[in-house]
Structure 1
Amino acid sequence: MSYDTDLKLFIDGAWKSGEGRDSHTVVNPATAGGIAEVPYATRADLDEALAAAARAWPEWRSTDVDKRGAILRKAAKLLRERADHIGAILTQEQGKPIAEAKAEVAGSAQLFDWYAEEVKRDYGRTLVRPAGQLSRVIRQPVGPVATFTPWNFPIYLMAKKLAPALATGCTVIARPPHETPGCATELIRALVDAGIPKGVVQLVHGDADMVSRTLIGSKEIRKVSFTGSTNVGKHLMKLAADSMTRITMELGGHAPVLVFDDCDLEKTLDMVVPQKFRNAGQVCVSPTRFYVQETIYDAFLKGFAERTGKVKVGDGLDADTRMGPLANDRRPEAVGALIEDAAAKGARVLTGGQRGNSGFFFQPTLLADVPNEANIMNEEPFGPVAVTRAFSTFDEVIEQSNRLPFGLAAFAFTENGRRANLLGELIESGMVGINTFAISVPDAPFGGVKDSGFGSEGGKEGLESYQVVKAIHQA
Structure 2
Amino acid sequence: MKNLFINGKWLSSESGETLKVYNPANNELLKELSFGNETDVKKAIDAAYQAFPVWSNMSPNERSKILRKVSDLITENLEDLALTITKETGKPISEARNETLRASENFLWYSEETKRINGEVLSSNIPTKRLIVVNQPIGVVGAITPWNIPLNMIARKLGPALAAGCTVVLKPAESTPLDAIKMFEIFEKAGFPKGVVNLIIGKPEKVGEEFINNRKVRKITFTGSTRVGKYLMEGASKQVKNISLELGGHAPFIVFEDADLDQAVDSLLLTKFGNNGQMCISANRIYVQEAVVESFSAKLIERLEKMKVGNGAEEDTKIGPLINESALNKVLSHIEDAKDKGAKVLYGGERLVGGGLEEGFFCKPTILVEVNSKMKVAHEETFGPVAPIISFKNEEDIIDIANNSDYGLAAYFFTKSTKKSFEVAEKLQYGIIGVNDGWPIQIHTPFAGHKESGIGVEGGTFAVKEFLTTKLITMNIEN
- The normalised TM-score by structure 2 is 0.96
User: Does structure 1 residue 86 correspond to structure 2 residue 87?
Assistant: no
Alignment partners' CA distance in 1, 2:104 and 2:212 = 28
Q: Match for 2:91: what amino acid?
A: K
Shift of 1:185: 1.0
TM-aligned CA deviation for residue 19 of structure 1: 6.4
Is residue 76 from structure 1 mapped to residue 76 from structure 2 by the alignment? no
**Which of 255, 278, 294 is the equivalent residue of 2:251?**
255
Distance 1:114 1:11 in 2: 26
SS of equivalent residue, structure 1 residue 179? coil
Deviation track 1:307-354 (CA, whole Å, cap 9, x = no partner) reads 122220000000000010001111110000001001111111111111
Quote the Cα distance in structure 2 between the aligned partners of 1:421 and 1:61.
43
Matched, 1:293 2:289: yes
Q: Residue 9 of structure 1 contacts residue 204 of structure 1 at CA under 8 Å; is this kept in 2? A: yes
Distance 1:204 1:121 in 2: 30
Q: Is the 8 A contact 2:2 2:10 kept in 1?
A: no
Could you tell me how far 1:118 is from its partner in structure 2?
2.0
Contact 1:38–1:178, Cα closer than 8 Å, also in 2: no
CA distance in 2, matches of 1:98, 1:72: 26
> Would the alpha carbon gap of residues 7 and 449 (structure 1) be closer, same or farther in structure 2, given more than 3 Å must change?
farther
Please say if 1:340 is aligned against 2:357. no
In the other structure, the counterpart of 1:59 is 54
Change (3 A) 1:173 1:18: closer
Deviates more, 1:147-156 or 1:116-125: 116-125
1:132-211 mapped onto 2 (5 Å cutoff): 132-211=128-207
Cα displacement (A) at 1:48: 1.2
For the pair 1:303 / 2:299, whether they are aligned, the reply is yes
Q: Could you tell me whether the CA contact under 8 Å between 1:143 and 1:221 is conserved in 2?
A: yes
Task: Check conservation: 1:346, 1:370, Cα contact below 8 A.
Answer: yes
For residue 197 of structure 1, what is the amino acid of its counterpart? P
Partner of 2:30: 35
The yes-or-no answer on 1:377 pairing with 2:381 is: no
- Output aligned runs, 1:101-120, within 5 Å: 101-120=96-115
Distance, in Å, in 1 between the alignment partners of 2:175 and 2:43 is 24
Query: C-alpha separation between the residues in 2 aligned to 1:439 and 1:249?
Result: 20
**2:320·2:362 contact (CA, 8 Å) conserved in 1?**
yes
Q: How far off is 1:20 after superposition?
A: 5.4
Q: Percent identity?
A: 39
State yes or no: 1:23 paired with 2:18: yes
Aligned counterparts of 2:263 and 2:380: Cα–Cα separation in 1: 29
Q: Give secondary structure in 2 for the equivalent of 1:279.
A: helix
Task: Give the 3-state SS of the residue equivalent to 1:57 in structure 2.
Answer: helix
CA shift, 1:238, in A, is: 1.5
Backbone CA RMSD of aligned residues? 1.3
Are 2:232 and 1:236 equivalent residues in the alignment? Answer: yes
| Contact 1:252/1:284 (<8 A) preserved | yes
> Aligned AA for 1:207?
K
Cα separation, 1, equivalents of 2:2 and 2:228:
26
Structure 2 residue 433 is matched with structure 1 residue 438: no
Which amino acid in structure 1 is aligned with residue 232 of structure 2?
A: L
- Structure 2 unaligned runs (5+)? none
8 Å Cα contact 2:290/2:391 also seen in 1? yes
Report what 1:351 is aligned to: 347
Q: Are residue 318 (structure 1) and residue 314 (structure 2) matched? A: yes
1:450 aligns with 2:451: yes
Q: Give the TM-score normalised by the residue count of structure 1.
A: 0.97
AA partner of residue 293 (structure 1): Q
Q: Give the distance between the partners of 1:25 and 1:387, measured in 2 at CA.
A: 35
SS at match of 1:89: helix
Q: Displacement, 1:306?
A: 1.8
Alpha-carbon deviation of 1:139?
1.0
Runs of 4+ that moved beyond 6 A: none
- Determine the C-alpha separation between the residues in 2 that align with 1:53 and 1:286: 35
Q: 1:155 to 1:262 in 2, by over 3 A?
A: same
Listed one character per residue, the Cα deviations across residues 357-383 of structure 1 (whole Å, up to 9, x for unaligned) are 221111111111210000111100000
User: Residue 98 of structure 2 aligns to which amino acid in structure 1?
Assistant: A
Aligned partner of residue 85 in structure 1, secondary structure:
helix
1:364 correspondence with 2:359: no
Aligned to 1:218: 214
Q: Does 1:407 align with 2:421?
A: no
Deviation at 1:76, TM superposition (A): 0.3
Deviation, 1:246, is 0.7
CA contact (8 A) 2:15 2:36 kept: no
Measured against aligned partners, the alpha-carbon deviations of 1:213-248 in whole angstroms (never above 9, x if no partner) come to 012210100000000010111111111122221100
Gaps of 5+ in 1: 1-5
1:389 corresponding residue in structure 2:
390
The CA deviation at 1:391 is 1.2
Partner of 1:3: none
- Partners in 2 of 1:167 and 1:21 — Cα distance? 34
Report the secondary structure of 2:323's partner residue. Answer: coil
1:274-285 matches, cutoff 5 A: 274-285=270-281
